[in-house]
Structure 1
Amino acid sequence: MMQTINRIRTIRNAVLIALATVGTAQAGTLTIESWRVDDKTLWETVLIPAFQKKNPGIEVKFAPTAPTEYDSSLTARLAGGTAGDLIACRPFDVSLSLYKKGNLEKLDGKPGMEHFPASAKTAWQTDDGKDTFCMPVASVMHGFLYNQKIFKELNLQPPKTEAEFFKVLDTIKSNGKYTPLALGTADQWESSQVIFTGVGPNYWKGEEGRKALIAGKEKFTDPNFVNAFEYEAKLGKYLSKGASSQTYGDSQNLFALGKAAIYPTGSWDIAYFNTNAKFEMGAFPPPVPKAGDKCYISDHNDIGMGVNKKSKNKEDAYKFLTWLGSQEFADIYTNKVTGFFSLSDHLISVKDPVAKQMIDWRKSCSSTIRLNAQILNRGEPSMENQLWNVNAQVLNGKLAPKEAAAQIQTGFAKWYKPQQ
């Protein structure tokens, strides 16, 4: 009899434990992998609580890794089966590689994905566009910030054409009090990612030129691309005297202290200057070659979110992804992570005045992505490395525009068959 009672107790306890386990699994604990360490407080105090209000009982942990270590450590965790449920996705090849290795779920048709236009998905799709493996989250834009106080002092207006831009730069330079452009070439990346791929789309017609390079229909030595290098070369004479040894941080400091009139940059820098500059800023898009030309902006897909194929909590992971595609998330993220713009089709009321100026460029200009971001970085010599080096030399006056174009084209044709 006692054995029977003990057996019943054992079975009852086992059932209770099983039920408790099922309850915990249903409640779920989601872990988000990301390189955005700066966003940790935002996720923990604003974003996750907002999600939980709509989805009570789902625990969410934001576990970022330093940007320089993210790719390698994430790859190791995915291989070891210890990676989080949701994976912050870098654009293009890094995340495409994760998908090809079977680490990310296919997301086509999943709730929330319907809020993103085709252009927003490009960074997280297979080359043929058939599979989408990360939900688009946000992009960054390239353009120019300017010191409104200096512009007012010198009676200047934001330029709309190349001729107007150089007239503004000449006025600032001849005045002698301020550096016209707060830009250095020591770190090189700004030369390529901010200047060349920021102002260049107005010359190669954005997506039209980028896709023509991929298809082998245009070359870097064609006028559209050479003209972009020539424009860049002209900008070189408006930099500081010590521009070749001036770092990104130096440029930020120069502009923040009110010693430079214009700062070529990306929208990610707005928050920095909101904190560190004591003057009102404005923003203008890259000026077009001549009046009446269509304008193009580098509206570069920066971050997405995918689902780990080995997640043990996919049901809740998809609930979270659905929320990421919502109006609520788009509003919060765009207004709290200043300078990072939702890629969704939701109408967003942007509160920061400079960020609002930038996002409004989408209404009048066509968006494109960084020129070499898709497909063109897959061979040797690395086009990314070459563009950094070549564009820095063009700005420094050490390399002629046609020679710069020839160098990039020669390296490109060495490994890319459509260009051979």
Structure 2
Amino acid sequence: MLKRTITGSLLATTVLCTNAMAQDVTLTIESWRNDDLAIWQEQIIPAFEAANPGIKIKFTPSAPAEYNAVLNSKLDAGSAGDLVTCRPFDASLALYDAGHLANLSDLDGMNNFSDVAKSGWSTDDGSATFCVPMASVIHGFIYNKDAFSEVGVEVPSTEAEFFAALEKIKEDGNYIPMAMGTNDQWEAATMGYNNIGPNYWKGEEGRLALINGDQKLTDPQWVAPFSQLAKWGAYLGDGYEAQTYPDSQNIFTLGRAAIYPAGSWEISGFNNLVDFEMGAFNPPVQAAGDTCYISDHTDIAIGMNAKTAHPEETKTFLNWVGSAEFAKIYANALPGFFSLSNHEVGMEDPLAQEFVSWRSKCESSIRSTYQILSRGTPNLENETWNASVAVIRGNETPEAAGERLQKGLASWYAPQQ
């Protein structure tokens, strides 16, 4: 009798354990961030699974250049993961319009994000948001503190101070004033025009006015950033015209340049390469007392495959992505990729702390060309690359660049006609 009872108890326990194991759900994440694999496996996934027993996470990234094609083919074949990492704006909007991404507007975790934070993954009218924002990158200038000290220049806060510092560094002769080339074109627009531009067009005010057709690229506030870029060429060092993006990174990290027009994504890489102390400053304003604006650009988010077999578990994970716990883990694991949530996130990296501190003193915006305005031909984003390079090299006047961009935009975009 005793033996029969023990056997029955063991059988019941086995059944319960088997049922518990059977209830475990594994969610798969599609992503292009293959360099983040260790961070997900060692930090993010263990934290989520510890708080959510019964849900397992598998992070399966593709090569960045292949991600869009791989993801689209998987979605079409019905074999994509439950969770889809989302690039900002049109690529993800196309997935939503095709029915591949679920509408997450009613997700509780979405309450932790502002409209600007969600703009990269919302419909044009803002009625639906289909990915939970994960991080943004902030633009500004990284500088060599040793170089500043040796030359005797202070961190500039106005344009006049900025160019005075560049001139003094140039006269000193021991450092290239600013490390940026024009060979690859995109950096002239990304770390040039869209870095300094928000101070002129007043961030979101000007960006939205351009989308609505209330401002034009020939208006003074849109031509003025080109006028500043036209002065940069004198401070970029010999041969900057043929200098590539990796060349510029090397010049700065080897200590040969004093200033690097930057995106915060450089922080972790630079930390491992420099043997000097770095600082950062936000784009200098036109005059003392002016409101400052920064490009705090929406970069990465995560959404739900509309055909997932596990929608409730997937929403549980997405709500966690909107939590303070996720924000803290992600921001510290990847310094320079900043949480877009409203949570207060303490960061350990001093350079990351400096970049993110600008949010409390400056108004945030995103790159002017990324939402809606680059859907036609000519593509405004790519045309801004070309125009920024032409102006820096002195091959085109700021006014002519503005006229060319405006003509191209008006050729296909109705609000600008």
**Which band: TM-score by shorter chain?**
over 0.9
Between the aligned partners of 2:397 and 2:360, the Cα distance in structure 1 is: 35
Match of 1:392 in 2: 389
Name 2:353's counterpart in structure 1: 356
Residue of structure 1 aligned with 2:38, choices 25, 38, 41: 41
- Return the letter of the residue paired with 2:412: W
- TM-score under structure 1 length normalisation: 0.94
Aligned twin of 1:314:
311
Measure, in 2, the Cα distance between the counterparts of 1:180 and 1:299.
Answer: 25
Contact 1:25 1:313 in 2 (8 A): no
After TM superposition, the structure 1 = structure 2 runs for residues 26-37 of structure 1, keeping only pairs within 5 Å, are 26-37=23-34
Q: Within the alignment, does 1:216 sit opposite 2:213 as a pair? A: yes
Provide the rounded CA distance (Å) in 1 between the counterparts of 2:219 and 2:109. Answer: 41
Correspondences of 1:267-346 after superposition (within 5 Å): 267-346=264-343
| Alignment-mate amino acid for residue 34 of structure 1 | S
- Out of 102, 105, 109, the position equivalent to 2:106 is 109
Deviation string 1:16-66 (CA, Å, 9 cap, x unpaired) is 9x9999756631111101111111000011100010110123221101111
Partner SS for 2:367: coil
Contact persistence 1:142–1:299 (CA under 8 A): yes
User: In the aligned structure 1, how far is the partner of 2:21 from the partner of 2:114?
Assistant: 37
What is the aligned partner in structure 1 of residue 172 from structure 2?
Answer: 175
Q: Percent identity?
A: 53
Alpha-carbon deviations, 1:320-369, whole Å to 9, x = none?
11111111111111111110000011111111101001100000100000
Alpha-carbon separation, structure 2, partners of 1:25 and 1:201 = 53
Q: Distance in 1 between matches of 2:248 and 2:393?
A: 15
Counterpart position of 1:140: 137
Aligned to 1:94: 91
Residue deviations 1:220-260 (CA, integer Å, cap 9, x gap): 11100111110111112111211111011000000000000
SS of residue paired to 1:300: strand
Q: Of the candidates 171, 183, 186, which is equivalent to residue 189 of structure 1?
A: 186
Deviation of the 1:209 alpha carbon: 0.7
**Cα distance in 2, alignment partners of residues 54 and 19 from structure 1:** 21
1:67 match: 64
Q: 1:362-416: CA deviations, max 9, x gaps? A: 0010000000110001100111111111111111121111111111111101001
The residue identity in structure 2 corresponding to 1:237 is: A
Asked whether the 8 Å contact 1:350–1:356 carries over to 2, the reply is yes
SS in structure 2 of the partner of residue 360 of structure 1: helix
1:158 is the counterpart of 2:145: no
Distance in 1 between residues matched to 2:18 and 2:120, nearest whole Å? 39
For residues 193-204 of structure 1, what are the structure 2 equivalents within 5 Å? 193-204=190-201
Letter in 1 for 2:241: S
- Structure 1 CA distance, aligned partners of 2:273 and 2:295? 25
Aligned partner letter, 1:314: P
Shift in Å, 1:111: 2.5
Query: Contact conserved, 1:297 with 1:365, CA < 8 A, in 2?
Result: yes
- When the two structures are aligned, how many residues end up with a matched partner? 404
2:124 corresponds to which residue? Answer: 127
Opposite residue 137 of structure 1, the aligned amino acid is M
- Where structure 1 has 5 or more consecutive residues not aligned to the other structure, the ranges are 1-15
Helix, strand or coil for the counterpart of 1:105?
coil
Which one of 248, 251, 254 corresponds to residue 251 of structure 1?
248
Measure the CA separation in 2 of the matches of 1:35 and 1:147: 32
Question: Counterpart of 1:82 in structure 2: which amino acid?
Answer: S
Give the secondary-structure state (helix, strand or coil) at the position aligned to 1:31.
strand
Q: For 1:23 and 1:335, how far apart are their aligned partners in 2?
A: 34
In the alignment, the residues of structure 2 paired with residue 76 and residue 22 of structure 1 have an alpha-carbon distance, to the nearest angstrom, of 35
> 2:22, 2:399 → 1: CA distance?
62
Q: Identify the residue that residue 7 of structure 2 maps to in structure 1.
A: none
**RMSD after superposition:** 1.5
Counterpart of 1:6?
Answer: none
In 2: Cα distance, 1:411 partner to 1:399 partner: 16
Equivalent residue letter for 2:185:
Q
Segments of 5+ residues of structure 2 without an aligned counterpart are: 1-10
- Counterpart Cα distance in 2 of 1:375 and 1:25: 46
- Hey, which bits of structure 1, 4+ residues long, moved more than 2 A? 18-26
In 1, the alpha carbon distance for the partners of 2:223 and 2:119 equals 26
For the residue of structure 2 that corresponds to 1:225, the secondary structure is: helix
Aligned to 2:404: 407
- One-letter identity of the residue aligned with 1:391: S
- Name the structure 1 match of 2:3: none
Letter in 2 for 1:207: E
Letter of the 2:35 counterpart? D
